[in-house]
Structure 1
């Protein structure tokens, strides 16, 4: 608790976004907004691995590497990604994380989840998991070089993925791909895979 005045304090329930405090990738405390977003009761998630709110193991592992590096170097992390509700429904969100312990940044961190209202259908996939990951990074404005670093592939492989995706969805450039991903071209919207 952070004391604001002698008679007032700020707790996790006072945070206006879905929020969770984690310790070594285990959820230790969360607010009601977090439970409502992911459609879990608090007792179903406290003490559980963050893995249950990720769409798959690959995303859980790759995001874990990325946030660990950022928390250790900068004490904060921001990205956009797919997350999963208790029933498997996926949604796109922006995630902000901040280390609460400077000496051991991954021991305690607070995470704020900001849903972005882009529909994500759960159905027969039009794009692979890797392709969805690449499209998401393009939508964040990342260059092929940035995508390569984030995903752990060569720049040439990132270029190839991007080119194939653009051909597959019928767009000519990164701006159109980001717009398509944003749901502005609803009929061909990518379908997430389970």
Structure 2
């Protein structure tokens, strides 16, 4: 029977795995490369920013992680990410830091492509993508506003735009369409 060590497990895991320092990919497995359409070795030394739809989203999510990770010890969300070919897709991301007081210092992250069950059906702005990601988690306008540091009324305006883009008559119908149902 072949030897099965931690390094082998890391590289053959069925989800994308990343070891990071200051939001730079120190090491990653083949599955991460497959998910994002890169040779996994080409991602080593790159900023996580190459995986985001825009620099603004990279910054916003980066600012959101420390307070959550420092209180909960782990950060997890579902968000729209970008493949090497520019395709946008839904991804479940979870991370744990080695130091909750400095969450970006060093951590382990998992990336799971959930596009088979959830498609990006229409072109969305960066803010619409952020709000859509919160809506599918069942968050209210007030909760989303607090997370994104915008007013609940602004969230409602974006929700209305999303409803129009997806042809949804109700917020529940919008969530179902965002989920691909």
TM class, shorter-chain normalised?
0.7 to 0.9
* Cα shift at 1:115: 1.1
* Cα shift at 1:129: 2.7
Mapping for residues 1-194 of structure 1, pairs under 5 Å: 9-11=5-7, 12-102=10-100, 104-116=102-114, 117=116, 118-120=118-120, 125=123, 127-184=124-181
Equivalenced residue count is 175
Deviations along 1:110-151, whole A, 9 cap, x unmatched?
A: 110111122225x8x3x4332232222211211111110122
- The structure with the greater share of residues assigned to strand is 1
Per the normalisation by structure 2, the TM-score is 0.86
Per the normalisation by structure 1, the TM-score is 0.81
Contact 2:66 2:102 in 1 (8 A): no
| Cα distance, 1:132–1:23 mapped onto 2, change above 3 Å | same
Return 5+ residue gaps in structure 1 as ranges.
Answer: 1-6, 185-194
Q: Alignment partner of 2:15: what SS?
A: coil
| Cα distance, 1:84–1:169 mapped onto 2, change above 3 Å | closer
* Cα shift at 1:153: 0.4
| Cα distance, 1:54–1:101 mapped onto 2, change above 3 Å | same
Q: Alignment partner of 1:93: what SS?
A: strand
Deviations along 1:136-187, whole A, 9 cap, x unmatched?
A: 2211211111110122101121122223432443323222111111223xxx
Partners of 1:154 and 1:43 lie apart in 2 by 42
Q: Alignment partner of 1:163: what SS?
A: helix
Contact 2:119 2:178 in 1 (8 A): no
Return 5+ residue gaps in structure 2 as ranges.
Answer: none
* Cα shift at 1:68: 2.2
- Runs of 4+ aligned residues of structure 1 deviating over 6 Å after TM superposition are none
